A and B are shown apart, each in its own frame.
Chain A
Amino acid sequence: MTINKKIGLILSLLLFCSVAQSKEMDMSKKEMKHKNHDHKKHDHKKHDHKDQKASLKKTGKDKLTLKVKGMVCAFCAQGIEKNFNKQKQVKSTKVNLDNMEVTIKLHPGKSLSEKKIKKIVTDAGFGFDGIKE
């Protein structure tokens, strides 16, 4: 393969990545727009706010066990522990690779929204699979 073809292949992959990421960001913008508009002005039969309520719900517990996807390597999972421990609401974080769960203990009286939890897990590079009941 010539140099130009190799560079072209890499640039194509780069462009694909940018498009994929911008689509992800577009979805986030749409979610924000949906959250802030006046809900009385249109028919809600075609969609509901269940996901939005779940994302805004404060969990109200001082110990949460999160289900995390993709957490197969202790070296990579250091990031999830570190990112949770950075949060002022979090007292401690415990990672369990066997069950693919992360247990966070919160300081008394503090809470962490599910939306925030999901962001922390995603920023660490993993998939958030919900809070264990």
Chain B
Amino acid sequence: MKYSKINLALLFFTSLLLCSKSFSHPVSFKGSKGLMGYQSPFVSHNQLNYSFKHWFAAGIHHIQRPNMNSRSATFASANFLLKRWNGKGLQANIYSVIGAGHSELGPDARTSGFGLVQFDIENRDYYFLVKHQLVANSERTDFSQSVVRLGISPYVESYDGIHSWLILEWQSSNFFDGEDLTDLTPFLRIFYKNLLFEIGQSFDGITKFNYITHF
């Protein structure tokens, strides 16, 4: 089993060499503070949150279009773990985030809403996530993004070790001004204890970097 996974990993890395968003932990364990971010040349999304319960957190988000300095949005949010399935060797989650704040992602500044729905499922070998998020007001949608991720762990590490995952992400981002972007990005995820980061380059050559930490 391990040998075949190594083969898959090699194949994945090879495709990475041949070729070049957003994940999130909206809620973590009770009492934790989370800091996470998704960075790319076309959109940057950073979040700080505090989990009051294992199913509820409050967060602050900042979304920026790095190639357009004046285009950004800041929101306060309520993050919910709507449902979790804790199985023997498996966990699945449904998250929802709802927020409100100020958006300048469109042609003018507006009070806007932020919404997100996410489903993920994983065991120690495989991982799947699907997510949709948007920034909108009564007149328009300033930003929306859909994400699908598939991940595989090339090796299973013990709790105290350095963990790696290979993740393939499909994402489609749409902005009010029509600057849409759909791409496929392989990521390398590495985490150790409470620090996680991902780096990847889409097949269109866009470099992306993500991180999460909780403390």
Which residues of A are interface residues toward B (Cβ below 8 A)? Answer: 3, 6-7, 9-11, 13-14, 16-17, 20-21, 69-80, 82-83, 95-98, 100, 122-127, 129
Contact = CB atoms under 8 A, between A and B. Distances in A.
B193 A6 contact: no
Interface of B: 25, 27-32, 53-55, 80-91, 96, 98, 113, 115, 117, 122-124, 134, 136-138, 140-141, 157-161, 163, 191, 193-194, 196, 212, 214
Contacts, number: 111
B56 to A, nearest CB: 8
Q: Interface residues of A: mostly helix, strand, loop or mixed? A: helix
B159 A95 contact: yes
Contacts of A100: 88-89
Contacts of A75: 163, 191, 193-194, 196, 212
14 contacts: A7-B115, A71-B91, A72-B89, A72-B124, A73-B124, A74-B157, A74-B191, A75-B163, A77-B159, A79-B30, A124-B30, A125-B27, A126-B86, A127-B86
Nearest to B80: A17
Contacts of A77: 159
A97 B115 contact: no
A3 B136 contact: yes
Contacts of B98: 10-11, 14
A125 B96 contact: no
B100 to A, nearest CB: 11
Instruction: Give the top 10 A-B pairs by smallest Cβ distance, nearest first.
Output: A79-B29, A70-B86, A127-B86, A123-B30, A69-B86, A70-B91, A125-B54, A10-B115, A124-B29, A17-B82
A82 B80 contact: no
B123 A123 contact: no
Contacts of A9: 117
Given A78-B214, A97-B124, A70 B90 contact: yes
B214 A79 contact: yes
Contact of A6 (B53, B55, B134, B212): B134
Contacts of B55: 17, 21
Contact of B159 (A74, A83, A129): A74
B193 A78 contact: yes
A8 to B, nearest CB: 11
Contacts of A78: 29, 193-194, 214
Given A7-B113, A75-B212, 12 more contacts: A14-B80, A20-B82, A69-B87, A70-B90, A70-B91, A73-B91, A74-B163, A78-B193, A82-B29, A95-B159, A97-B159, A123-B54
A123 B191 CA distance: 23
A3 B117 CA distance: 15
Contacts of A3: 136-138, 140-141
Given A14-B80, A20-B82, A79 B159 contact: no
